[in-house]
Structure 1
Amino acid sequence: MWCWLITELLLFGGLLLVATVLRVLHPASVSAAATHLKFWIGASNTVVLICSSLTMSGAINASRLGLQTLMVRCMLATGGLGSVFLLLKAYEYYRDYQEHMVPFLDWRPYALPHDHASRLFINDYFAATGLHGVHLITGIAILLVLTRQASRAGYLSLHQNRIEIFGLYWHFIDLVWIIVFPTLYLVNRG
């Protein structure tokens, strides 16, 4: 799991490096494009994912203590918070679509400054947040299957380590967002 997480971190690191290099080389274009990002949604999603990390940590601690019912409730809360994140992100994408910012769907030159740096920044934004969303959807699906299995009697005595391993994945998702949010939403706002 650690090796896989490191490779995923390298993937996201490359995407965020593109945003950083764009910011250095074309600060005016990137700042103009970044002002179109929905800061309040990104900030709200940061709080939601931090709370989901707390509930996942609660599930891990409950699994260590053998508190199966509490563990299952914490896992369900984690999945619920992940779903709230996805709903907010879907709303943000919808608003981006309304503003003609979505590449390949409804890109109009007058929505953003008409230059390649702005377009590349917005493409990078969609690539990074979309890839993060795919990881989150995968995480929620795995979490639901794991929660169903973990609710059965005797699960913890045989498979407690699965909760720990999944916790690494979930915290990775949160860590990536904690890096994506300031890199795309804060630093580039000028």
Structure 2
Amino acid sequence: MSQAVNPVGIEVAEHFATADQQRNASMLGMWAWLLTELLLFAGLFLVALVLRVMHPTSVTATALHLKFWIGAGNTAILILSSLTMSAAIQASRLGWQKLMVQAMLATAALGTLFLLLKGYEWYQDYVEHMTPFLDRPYALGGDQASKLFMNVYYLTTALHGLHLTTGVSILLVLAWQASRPGFLSRHQNRIEVYGLYWHFIDLIWIIVFPVLYVLNR
């Protein structure tokens, strides 16, 4: 698609009149998509809460097997990553390209650390026979409510992990692009639009942690 360049040097697609219009359209598109993703997670949260109300004993016994320290640690990691992503956005607005790239890489590193801890937690779940979807003995026997809650836990955290893996991958590519000369004068808005996605990932986990780890202990 051909590009027009406005007087301040920001590339504007031919179907937009101004850079502000293009920026607002990009932000609106991201918000619309994030709302659909929120609805997806909301269904899983609702199932977990209903199970908690209907089968409190089973869900409590299951939740006690979850690694609270990993869930809490990962919550702190993602909150910190939101701060570094916000720093990257602010640096992009000020034209501080080097600081922006460094903050983006720090954000990606924190996201990777989250995934490593989550992978370790899943491994421990496997070792402790807390994987009801596999053809092996389950630690809590034939408790169907417990199995359902654990499957909801895996589905929710795996879906979140997929979003985070995608986010880290995009962020690394974006950081490479942002390190090139002239990026901010043409594509600064990409940093802000992507920032919405990263903050969404953080927000989802901030809901996941109390719903799955805290409420049923």
* Alignment check: 8 A CA contact 2:133 2:151 kept: no
Matched, 1:95 2:124: yes
Residue aligning to 1:78: 107
Of residues 99-108 and 168-177 in structure 1, the stretch that sits farther from structure 2 once superposed is: 99-108
**Runs of at least 5 residues in structure 2 that lack an aligned partner in the other structure:** 1-29
User: Residue 6 of structure 1 corresponds to which residue in structure 2?
Assistant: 35
Q: Is contact 1:46-1:181 (8 Å) kept?
A: yes
C-alpha RMSD of matched pairs (Å): 0.9
Q: Quick one: distance in 2 between partners of 1:77 and 1:158?
A: 23
> Where does structure 1 lack aligned partners over 5 or more consecutive residues?
none
Q: Given the superposition, is the C-alpha separation of residues 142 and 53 from structure 1 closer, same or farther in structure 2, using an over 3 Å criterion?
A: same
Question: What secondary structure sits across from 2:216 in the alignment?
Answer: helix
Corresponding position of 1:149: 177
- Kindly indicate whether structure 1 or structure 2 has the higher relative contact order, using CA contacts under 8 Å at least 6 residues apart: 1
**How far off its partner does 1:31 sit?**
0.4
Which position in structure 2 is the counterpart of 1:122?
150
Q: How many residues of Structure 1 are paired with residues of Structure 2 in the alignment?
A: 188
Aligned to 2:137: 108
1:92–1:106 distance in 2 versus 1, CA, 3 Å: farther
For 1:188 and 1:104, the matched residues in 2 are separated by 21
Could you say which structure has the higher helix fraction?
1
Distance in 2 (CA, whole Å) between partners of 1:159 and 1:106 is 50
Q: Deviations over 1:56-109 (max 9, x none)?
A: 000000000000000000000000000000000000000000011123335413
1:159 aligns with 2:171: no
CA distance in 2, matches of 1:72, 1:102: 40
Identity of counterpart residues, as a percentage? 70
Instruction: Give the distance between the partners of 1:130 and 1:121, measured in 2 at CA.
Output: 14
Other-structure match for 2:167: 139
Query: For residues 107 and 3 of structure 1, do their structure 2 counterparts lie closer, same or farther at Cα, with a shift above 3 Å needed?
Result: farther
Q: Which runs of 4+ in 1 moved over 2 A?
A: 103-107
Greater Rg by CA: 2
TM-score, L = length of structure 2 = 0.85
Deviations 1:30-51 (A, max 9, x none): 0001000000000000000000
Secondary structure, aligned partner of 1:136: helix
How far residue 114 of structure 1 moved from its aligned partner, in angstroms, is 2.5
**Structure 2: how far apart are the matches of 1:139 and 1:103?**
29
CA distance in structure 2 between the partners assigned to 1:103 and 1:86 by the alignment? 22
